[in-house]
Structure 1
């Protein structure tokens, strides 16, 4: 390799510090930023990256991997025997069928296309099934292939411009449901393809709700790609909010809810940046929007509702690394008001992050156990939960180590 070439941490035999530096730079993060998020000094980060300090213990390695959004632990450590996926879960057995439906060229084949109204009813049933199911990927993965093919066919065979717009709106939201299935599985190209198709279909539909949902998911995809993509997440969010603004005076609950969900997303991204005042300001706006919803309304895609605002407050505090505050908010949040099993499990994971930040590790593990009971597939695919469990399998306290090992086995981490 030429001396002036940039080493590739995925192929070259580099030491831990070199890999950390290359991955940090690729994410667009400075040493002071990484140091602050780790609770270390910039000089410590420099010493690790330059090899003056060797590879830290596993808990710190896992925190670094989380910050740098490392997909597989071996990409950071260089140890190919430690092929543990952190932010990418296992490939679901139904993923190939969903991928085939997305990639297929859907022609009529002699079939009659269902109406947009019929598809919308099937889509609503699918969302309801997802919220009730602990194995939600299995449930929607079985429904998606036919939904995708039928929605594509309905768009293709629409007789009028109005019918085509209605069909595009449903197709966009079918792609939105698909993203919930594909996310955190080992096919990021498929996820982005579905996200882009969903956005195109939403724009073709001219439906404000479909546009808002597509933007909400696109903003999340950008933000999860790392700090270098936060600006892109903000642009999508702000453009969608500006577009929805013209509809809000006479909007129904669906449009108000997607606007509120986008406001929270703006706060979430601000919290990831460490902008406390901005994050709190957006949360306040989302809270105000939630109070304009009908009592008991629960948005099927985003879970936005009055009931979710307590959970959202916990997430903001956790992302700001406010341990004590996030625990206080977790205690105050009424998790029982969240009707969706996968969303409840996600909230339990955020609570566990709060307790770990506050040094209450036993409570964090107990909370992850509750998340597993609510929806095993949610915690199995969640990188934060996986990181906490892996950290505690190295605990010096035997009882804690055994408890974490049981969870790690349930999540499939020991097999990895």
Structure 2
């Protein structure tokens, strides 16, 4: 039994339907919502959960796992052989450099005056180079894993040794953004508590800085963390987004490009959450607001954290359509978007994954696999840690077409889902 007094979905001898019901209820999701996300009827969900229908085949199990955000297929099926194979979905493998990054975050160096902090401007310049390296590298987690421990320590030191209130606020702004960069490294790894610790520290440092841009960036990432925790946390995501937009609104008249961009990024996040809810009107309405902000930016502008820009709005349109489960619209938006205009390798890879989701929704699995190959070429470490991509690849390894099975299996080996 779990602490809540309900059956533990990871205990034997629960059957598939029981596990599905427990996991659904822990997500705060009704049968009607789950059915809609799966393209099935509430009656079908009820019959699966009650055991009146047989366990679905692998493609549907993968879709259920995606919607319920389970840690691995064994959590849903009870088949421990799947756990042994480490077939994780929405939590990718732990990166070899994760322990060093975690140690830097968790360190509490009381004797910090034993070493003089580098100048804040020096730390800020290293941070800017780290963002650039992340966008340019195919294996961006490896790059960040090397840079972050020292960067975290020096940014913390810079805050502690600040000699004036103004210097301390400026150092807090840099530290908040260092934590934001750290969130990109930790995301989708098996370190949920660490991710939330970093997000909270980023928010605190941003508020201490009183810097509009730092506050916007920290809120942007916090909203994503809430939304990715499941439907029960969508309201929390919206609360963070709306409160920050209200805070930034009076500052828009004389805003820098970076502040304008973070407002646009937050507006898109509101649309993203609305799309997750299935609210098409609000989703596209917020996308329109974000596009208006993008059009106020220089044509070649690209926000270093959020990737917000004129170039990204096509990719954002694909995401909205995919989250609304509109396959045809997803494909139309993908055709209109220019992936080559996205300079960031990880963000371009993420866009390719969204395109692949659209192709699969539209019944074009061959195009989905071809697009995932492009995602791998852009940034292998993005697709390796992306649950949607992993689900599509696993599903296609069971395809009836031998050619699709072959292509999917080859990609599964490349991203570490299957042994060579």
- Shorter chain as normaliser: what TM range? over 0.9
Pair 1:104 & 2:107 matched: yes
Note the alpha carbon deviations across 1:256-310, whole angstroms, 9 max, x for none: 0000000000000000000000000000000000011122110010000000000
Show the counterpart of 1:137: 141
Show the counterpart of 1:14: 14
Show the counterpart of 2:201: 197
Select 1:248's aligned residue among 235, 252, 259: 252
**CA distance in structure 2 between the aligned counterparts of 1:141 and 1:297, rounded to whole angstroms:** 27
Choose 88-97 or 103-112, whichever is displaced more. 103-112
Select 2:274's aligned residue among 246, 270, 275: 270
Q: Which runs of 5+ in 2 are unaligned?
A: none
Note the alpha carbon deviations across 1:40-86, whole angstroms, 9 max, x for none: 11111001000111210000000000001111111111111112110
Q: Measure how far apart 1:111 and its partner are.
A: 1.4
Return the TM-score normalized by structure 2: 0.97
Q: 1:255-334 to 2 correspondence within 5 Å?
A: 255-334=259-338
Show the counterpart of 2:40: 40
Note the alpha carbon deviations across 1:212-246, whole angstroms, 9 max, x for none: 00000000000000000000000000001001111
Select 2:379's aligned residue among 363, 375, 379: 375
Choose 82-91 or 174-183, whichever is displaced more. 82-91
Tell me the secondary structure at the aligned position of residue 407 of structure 2.
helix
Choose 291-300 or 312-321, whichever is displaced more. 291-300
Pair 1:352 & 2:356 matched: yes
Q: 1:139-218 to 2 correspondence within 5 Å?
A: 139-218=143-222
**CA distance in structure 1 between the aligned counterparts of 2:266 and 2:39, rounded to whole angstroms:** 30
Q: 1:68-147 to 2 correspondence within 5 Å?
A: 68-83=68-83, 84-106=87-109, 107-108=111-112, 110-147=114-151
Q: Measure how far apart 1:411 and its partner are.
A: 1.1
**CA distance in structure 2 between the aligned counterparts of 1:21 and 1:268, rounded to whole angstroms:** 26
Show the counterpart of 1:57: 57
Q: Measure how far apart 1:5 and its partner are.
A: 4.1
**CA distance in structure 1 between the aligned counterparts of 2:79 and 2:215, rounded to whole angstroms:** 43
- Count how many residue pairs are aligned between Structure 1 and Structure 2: 415
**CA distance in structure 2 between the aligned counterparts of 1:227 and 1:248, rounded to whole angstroms:** 31
What RMSD over aligned residues (CA atoms) do the two structures have, in Å? 1.3
Choose 127-136 or 112-121, whichever is displaced more. 112-121
Tell me the secondary structure at the aligned position of residue 307 of structure 2.
coil
Show the counterpart of 1:391: 395
Q: Measure how far apart 1:10 and its partner are.
A: 1.7
**CA distance in structure 2 between the aligned counterparts of 1:359 and 1:295, rounded to whole angstroms:** 35
**CA distance in structure 2 between the aligned counterparts of 1:5 and 1:294, rounded to whole angstroms:** 56
**CA distance in structure 2 between the aligned counterparts of 1:37 and 1:311, rounded to whole angstroms:** 22
**CA distance in structure 2 between the aligned counterparts of 1:175 and 1:116, rounded to whole angstroms:** 15
Return the TM-score normalized by structure 1: 0.98
Tell me the secondary structure at the aligned position of residue 97 of structure 1.
helix
**CA distance in structure 2 between the aligned counterparts of 1:11 and 1:53, rounded to whole angstroms:** 21
Tell me the secondary structure at the aligned position of residue 353 of structure 2.
helix
**CA distance in structure 1 between the aligned counterparts of 2:333 and 2:259, rounded to whole angstroms:** 28
Structure 1 runs (4+) deviating above 3 angstroms are: none
**CA distance in structure 1 between the aligned counterparts of 2:21 and 2:114, rounded to whole angstroms:** 57
Tell me the secondary structure at the aligned position of residue 381 of structure 2.
helix
Tell me the secondary structure at the aligned position of residue 246 of structure 1.
helix
**CA distance in structure 2 between the aligned counterparts of 1:44 and 1:76, rounded to whole angstroms:** 17
